[in-house]
Each structure stands twice: as C-alpha cells, then as structure tokens.
Amino acid sequence: MKKHRDKEVVIKVEDLSISFSTDHGRLHAVRGVSFELYRGEVLAIVGESGSGKSVSAKTIMGILAPNGRVEGGRIMYGGEDLTKVSEEEFHRIRGKKIGMIFQDPLSSLNPIMRIGKQITEAIIINGNKLKLMYEDLIYEDNVAYRNALTKARGEIDTSAFQLRNLKIENKYKARAIREDKSLTGADKRAKLDELIEQIKAADMEHRALTKRIKAEYKPILAELKAKLKVAQKKAKAEVKAYHNELKAEYKKERDALRAEYKATKNVERRKELRASLKKARLDYVDKTRVTRQVAHDMAVKVMEEVGIPNAARRFRQYPFEFSGGMRQRIVIAIALIQNPDILICDEPTTALDVTIQAQILELLLRLKHERQLSIIFITHDLGVVANMADRVAVMYAGRIVEYGKVEEIFYNPKHPYTWALLSSIPDVDTKERLEAIPGTPPNMVYPPKGDAFAPRSKYAMAVDFIEEPPYFQVSETHFARTWLLDPRAPKVEMPKIVSERIRISLERAGKGGEFNG
C-alpha cells in the first residue's frame, strides 16, 4: 500500500460526489470530497446534520440508498476503486475488512436472537473453509468478469440516471412555462416543444450509448466468462480432491482406532480410544469449516476484548438483558470478530449518556492502539473530537471545508464554519451552547454558488457569494476552503469568544499542555 511519509494510507477517497434522485430534483449530497485514512489513526468527520457525513460513510461501505448514485470520484482501497467493484467483491470487503457501527445499538441487533449467535453468525456463515478455498481459487477470474460486468452496467445506469433526471427537471420546467403569465400561448407551445425535443434527443442518445456499450463489452465479457468457467471447473476438481484426501485421512485414522477398540477389553484404553475418535472427527470437521466450538471461543474472546464482564455467561443472553453501553460493545464485537482494517463509527455514542459515552470512546481508542485499527469517527459534536481524533475533516454542505490535525483544527481553525462549530460546543457544566449557529444549511437540490456557508457567516465578503474558494494550504497538513486565507482578504482573527471557548474545552479534555509545542 501507498505510504505518505511514514504513514500507511489504508483508504483514499478522491473527489467523491454523490447525488440522490428525489421528487424535487437531484440532491447533491456530497460534492467532491477527498480524504485519506492512515493505519492506526482516528479521522473525525464533523459537521451539522445533512452535511453528507453518513452518505459518505455508507458509500464506502457499499450501502448507498437505491436512489443514490456516485457521480464521480474514487474510493481507493487495497489497490481497487470501491465505487467500481462488483457486488460479489464488495461482499468480501464489506463487514470483513471494513466494519461499521451506527448510532443506535439496539436497531443493529436482532432482539430475539441470543447475543452469542449474533456475534458468531458471520464467522460461521463465512466459515465454510472448502467454499472459501474454492472462492480463492477462482477469485481473480471471478473479479475480472464481475467488475467488467459492473463497469458496463454502470455506464448504462449512469446514462439512464441522467435521462431520468432530465425528465424530472423538464417536468418542473414545463410546469413553470405553463404557469408563466408573461408568455403567449404560441411561445409556451414553442418552449414546451423544445423540452420535448430535448428529451427525445437524450432518449435517442441513451439508446445509442446502450447499444454501443453492449457491443463494446460483448466480446470482452464473453472471453472473461469463458475464462471464469474454465477456472471454476478446475477449482471444483481441486477442492474435491483436497476434500477426498481429508476424508481418506480421517477414515484411515478412524478405522484404525475402531479396530483397536474392538480388539481391546481394557476399560482405560477403551476410554482413551473413544476420546481419540472424537478428536479425530473434530479435527476433520475443523479443516472443512469453522465449528461452533471455535466460533464460540472466538466470540467470548472478542466479548472480553470489548470489556463485557462474564462473557461466557453473557454469550447466551438476549439484547434486552444488556444496558445501552453494553449493547454498543456487542455491536463493536460483531464488527471486530471479522478482524477489519477499518471501523466506521457513525455517531456511535449519541444515544448514550455521558459516562457511558466516555467509556465507549475509551474502548475505541484502546482498539485503535491494540489492533492498529483505522477509525472514521462521525459526529456533529466537536466536543468529543478533541479526545478522540488524530485528524479532523469539517464538512459543510457536502464538502470538506477544513481538514487538518486535531490540534490545528482546535488551536488554529481558519474557516468561519469551524469557528461556528467550535463556539457551539456545549458547556460541560451548564450544557448550554455558547452560540448557536445562525440560519440553516442550504437546500442541496440547489447548492449555492460561492462559499456555501457565506449566507450564515458574518465574515462573508462579496467574493464569497460569487466564487467558490479553493483549498488554501495553512500548513503541510492543514487546509481550509475560505477566501479569508486569500492574501487579498482583510485580516480577520477568529472571534475572542471562540478562542476562549476552545481554551476551556481543551483544558477540560486534559489537552491543555499536550497541544503546545
């Protein structure tokens, strides 16, 4: 994997854009988001409700809602672009290499299934070792074929999606034309005809593209499919031979033990032989699949790891017998049992009270250190970020507006939106928010021109309403999209009230000295 300085990049999101098709038109939920996640770090993604945090996370997990679409960009993981891989391949990655935990631990658990079973389910399902062997053997050919298929379908789907959106857009335009009192009947007809022509043309273009893509991919797909068939046949034979070998070995051992058992009258020896027979059987099964016993032991171990007391007994209980905090630990255990590289936590503690929240955060930090786990930590509360994160991405209206190390974001924030977020951190004692952020986020069907935060910012300049600010580099690791960093901008310091607030919350978090120097 690629290295950045001495850091190993585990996942790299590049210029990711996601939109949803809605009744009101196309909603641009994520607009060109880029970030890297390093091995063994916590990257916090913070921002108000609706800024696109969950949508970004779900896209990485491959669970974007059906009306959503990746418009552009890449998600590079293990040398592959997750936005382009097929369902089959994603299956191997999702839940296995990338785990996700959500806000409400109860809704991620099945209320009528014992906790232990919920933890072991995935390893038992994925534990058919012969099937895994088969899948490994055909892996390359399978992925090549599936990915080509996905790519071909993707191009057609994108075109169909655009056509559908055009139709929705034109429907609204048509309504506006019909209601426009300044137009004559003839004008209206002409304009409506124009819209119809536009759709006709787009429709034809879509058909032509579909035809072209099908023709283009046909020979490639046929070749890949033929190769896959050959590989499947070969793999099947190989797995069968291996299985037969295992069976023969086991039978040989079993028959020898049985023969001796029949021949001997010694009670002690017979007892030993019965135990050996049982062990031989278990060893054989163990080579073909993950046994219940092995899964049970793995589950109890991971339950202990996430801090569940009496794990062996708790294994047999139901979710309702656990407190909220313990349930969230179970959810984390379910994610961990597959030994993931990356854990995405979407508001994992919002539903918990403060003490429990602190314990779960501590657990996540411990897992980060012990497992070298990379964590994407999503929250709307900058308050918890100071303790948790190594780096922070601040999101607003589908974009990352500031990105840097946690101390840079807390000690030297540059974007007025980050200032606003910092000043809205609730006071630990009074629970009062110092300053609510005025106004509301924009409607993402019509993303604003310029700096999306400008209408809510008292630091907005004329240019903010016209042109979108680029990323200005503050340090080697710190970036912010605000015209305030342009050399031509007037010098604006962050408000005193914000810096004071930051100082207090950092002191509370025990980071007062840590960030200096």
Burial of 439 (0-12, 13-18, 19+ CB in 10 A): exposed
29 binds, among ligand ATP, Mg ion, none (CB under 5 to 8 A by kind): ligand ATP
C-alpha span between 435 and 311 (Å, rounded): 44
417 binds, among Mg ion, ligand ATP, none (CB under 5 to 8 A by kind): none
Give the pairing type, strands 342-346 and 374-379.
Answer: parallel
Nearer to ligand ATP, 177 or 360 (CB): 360
Q: Which stretch binds ligand ATP (CB under 6 A): 3-11, 52-60, 365-373, 505-513?
A: 52-60
20 binds, among ligand ATP, Mg ion, none (CB under 5 to 8 A by kind): ligand ATP
Give the pairing type, strands 478-480 and 399-405.
Answer: antiparallel
User: What amino acid is encoded at 455 in this protein?
Assistant: P
For the segment 390-449, give every residue that binds ligand ATP (CB under 6 A).
Answer: 444
68 binds, among ligand ATP, Mg ion, none (CB under 5 to 8 A by kind): ligand ATP
Minimum gap (Å) between residue 379 Cβ and ligand ATP: 8
- Spatial CB neighbours of 250, under 8 Å, sequence gap ≥ 6: 280, 281, 283, 284
Which residue in 65, 113, 176, 204 binds ligand ATP (CB under 6 A)? 65
In b/e form, how buried is each residue of 388-400, taking b as 16+ CB within 10 angstroms?
bbbbbbbbbbbbb
For the segment 368-387, give every residue that binds ligand ATP (CB under 6 A).
Answer: 380
- Spatial CB neighbours of 93, under 8 Å, sequence gap ≥ 6: 62, 77, 78, 82, 85
C-alpha span between 272 and 456 (Å, rounded): 79
Burial of 440 (0-12, 13-18, 19+ CB in 10 A): exposed
116 binds, among Mg ion, ligand ATP, none (CB under 5 to 8 A by kind): none
Give the pair of three-digit tokens for residue 374: 């990379």
Nearer to ligand ATP, 22 or 323 (CB): 22
For the segment 2-61, give every residue that binds Mg ion (CB under 5 A).
Answer: 54
405 binds, among ligand ATP, Mg ion, none (CB under 5 to 8 A by kind): none
Beta bridge partners of 391: 43, 405
C-alpha span between 217 and 146 (Å, rounded): 12
**Does the protein bind ligand ATP through residue 27 (CB under 6 A)?**
yes
**Does the protein bind Mg ion through residue 379 (CB under 5 A)?**
no
Minimum gap (Å) between residue 480 Cβ and ligand ATP: 19
**Does the protein bind ligand ATP through residue 50 (CB under 6 A)?**
yes
Nearer to ligand ATP, 293 or 443 (CB): 443
Of how many residues is the chain composed?
Answer: 517
Closest by alpha carbon to 467, among 480, 487, 483, 456?
483
Nearer to ligand ATP, 343 or 395 (CB): 395
Give the pair of three-digit tokens for residue 173: 């335009």
**Does the protein bind ligand ATP through residue 22 (CB under 6 A)?**
yes
Minimum gap (Å) between residue 247 Cβ and ligand ATP: 50
Minimum gap (Å) between residue 438 Cβ and ligand ATP: 18
CA torsion 347-104-61-93 (nearest 10°) is: 120
Minimum gap (Å) between residue 55 Cβ and Mg ion: 8
Distances (CA, A) of 220 to 57, 74, 176, 231, 254: 33, 23, 46, 17, 50
Q: Which stretch binds ligand ATP (CB under 6 A): 61-69, 124-132, 257-265, 336-344?
A: 61-69
Residues in contact with ligand ATP, counted by CB under 6 A, come to a total of 17
Q: Which stretch binds ligand ATP (CB under 6 A): 60-68, 182-190, 230-238, 295-303?
A: 60-68
Nearer to ligand ATP, 276 or 350 (CB): 350
Distances (CA, A) of 505 to 44, 131, 435, 494: 17, 53, 14, 16
Nearer to ligand ATP, 27 or 331 (CB): 27
Binding string, 54-83, against Mg ion, x = CB under 5 A? x-----------------------------
Instruction: Enumerate binding residues for Mg ion (CB under 5 A).
Output: 54
Instruction: Enumerate binding residues for ligand ATP (CB under 6 A).
Output: 20, 22, 27, 29, 47, 49-55, 65, 67-68, 380, 444
